Amino acid sequence: MAPSFPTPNVITGSCLCGCLRYRVDLPANHNFETFAPHNACQCTQFRKQIVPLFFAAHMVAPASTAFRFTTPTTTLQTYRASDAGERVICTECWSFICRKPTNKENDFVCFTLGTVDPLYLFNEGADGAELPHDGFGLALANGSGQHFWCRNEIKGLRMGLSCSAKGGAGGVWWA
């Protein structure tokens, strides 16, 4: 069944200073309504790195063909917060662009929703001809996702999302 909201084929985004720009070509079979694409995390690592109370991202696979940088990556740096995953940041403005697993068998990337260009997120600056009036924000973050690492959750902040991992032994997704 097709989603009840408009969905993008392509989106673009960047870090705050614009040194790192990216493009996501969403696969034709990308399911915008399952739990996997929309996720949030309340782990202490993300709170300390990105300041907000939770991290919001959209997952796309396969990362090897869907996600690519469109500018030189001279300011790109990765930070490995755990053995399971690494984060991509800009060394000029320190924006957190995406996270990806270090295990090459898991070919996906979670790009941070705050880095999506306003044109695609809420239709800022568009003429309304090619993009929906309100952009694609609902497709990228429609509330059908899950919270990961809820051991440190602030009660009531889950916004109706279910929790897939409480953390601790056997409950770690990856940070």
Does residue 171 lie within any of the structural domains? no
Q: Residue 90 has what pLDDT?
A: 97
| Per-residue pLDDT, 167 | 45
**What pLDDT was estimated at residue 53?**
56
Domain with residue 95: its CATH number is 2.170.150.70
Query: In tens digits, what is the pLDDT along the chain, a chain of 175 residues?
Result: 567 788 899 999 999 999 999 999 999 888 887 655 556 665 556 555 555 656 678 888 888 889 999 999 999 999 987 787 888 999 999 999 998 888 877 888 889 888 999 999 888 877 767 788 888 888 888 766 665 555 666 666 555 556 655 444 333 344 4
Q: Is 3 a member of any domain? A: no
The domain of 93 spans 10-145
Q: What angle do CA 51, 169, 152 make, to 5 degrees?
A: 30
Q: Decide if 164 is inside a domain.
A: no
Query: What pLDDT shows up at residue 54?
Result: 61
64 within domain boundaries: yes
Residue 25 maps to a domain: yes
Classify residue 67: in a domain, yes or no.
yes
Q: Which residues touch 25 (CB under 8 Å, ≥6 apart)?
A: 9, 10, 65, 66
Count of domains for the chain:
1
For residue 158, being part of any structural domain is answered with no
Does residue 175 fall inside a structural domain? no
